Amino acid sequence: MNSRRSVLEANLATVRGRITAACAAVGRDPREVTLIVVTKTWPASDIRILAELGVRDVGENRHQEAVEKAAELADLDLTWHFVGQLQRNKAGAVARYADVVQSVDRPALAVALDRGALSAGRELTALVQVALSEDDGRGGARADRVMEVCRTITAASALRLAGLMAVAPLGEDPATAFARLTPLRAEVRSEFPDATWLSAGMSGDLEAAIAAGATHVRVGGAVLGSRRDVR
Ligand SMILES: *Cc1c(COP(=O)(O)O)cnc(C)c1O
């Protein structure tokens, strides 16, 4: 446990240093960038250590795993981000524990999340996931569908539209891919000025994401180590 703590502490320091350097390189204030540690496949005990080390935002991509960890760690003051592809029939359950759902990519999913949040008496922050490549199986709305999903979210009474999320496609320079978010983000902000977030950047490409204006980076492996169990 103690050695796990020192590994996580050192990795976190490295990642925070990368964020600071990436911000400095493009003249941004590092306080504009929130680190979300993606804890999928790692145990709740790691999240408890991360919380002790000052992490406030955690991300999960599978409902069953996330719901169990959120219940086990209910005593901690954490913001839970759901970042995985989500089926409509699980939306109601996710709405009971997630604070932020980053992977809203179709109007029907927004409607289902709204219904779930309303029945749980909660309000959810929602990001629209943008597909940066045609079909790499990573989900996301096509660029020409993004505004429609944004409008469905803003029309929903228990959802708050915070901005956009994207995953860089495999096999393309992430800087080129993230650059496609800039005009979309401007279009979203011109209609919804409060939708200021851009969640982009993972362990391998957080610098490119910060250069492209990311306000939230989602980092797994660089903090926790290489995936324990690939599913
Ligand atoms: C796993 C995951 C991450 C973190 O990826 P790493 O490469 O481990 O940093 C970020 N975003 C999403 C949507 C993920 O599923």
Give 93-126 pLDDT, tens digit per residue: 999 999 999 999 999 999 999 999 999 999 999 9
Q: Establish whether residue 227 lines the binding site of ligand 1, counting it when its CB lies within 6 angstroms of any ligand atom.
A: no
Q: Report the CATH architecture of 2-224.
A: Alpha-Beta Barrel (3.20)
38-51 per-position pLDDT tens digit: 999 999 999 999 99
Q: How many CB atoms lie within 10 A of CB 180?
A: 15
Task: Output the 3-class SS for 28-53.
Answer: CCHHHCEEEEECCCCCHHHHHHHHHC
Q: What does the pLDDT read at residue 230?
A: 46
Tens of pLDDT, residues 131-150: 999 876 778 999 999 999 99
Mutate to test the pocket of ligand 1, among 57, 63, 218 (most ligand atoms within 8 A of CB): 218
Better-predicted residue by pLDDT, 56 or 139: 56
Residue 1 pLDDT greater than 60, yes or no: no
- How many A from CA of 218 to the centre of ligand 1? 6
Asked if residues 222 and 11 have their Cβ atoms less than 8 Å apart, the reply is: yes
pLDDT(226) > 90 = no
Can you give the pTM of this predicted structure?
A: 0.96
Averaged pLDDT score across all residues of the chain: 96
Per-residue pLDDT, 227: 65
Q: Which whole number is the average pLDDT over 80-91?
A: 97
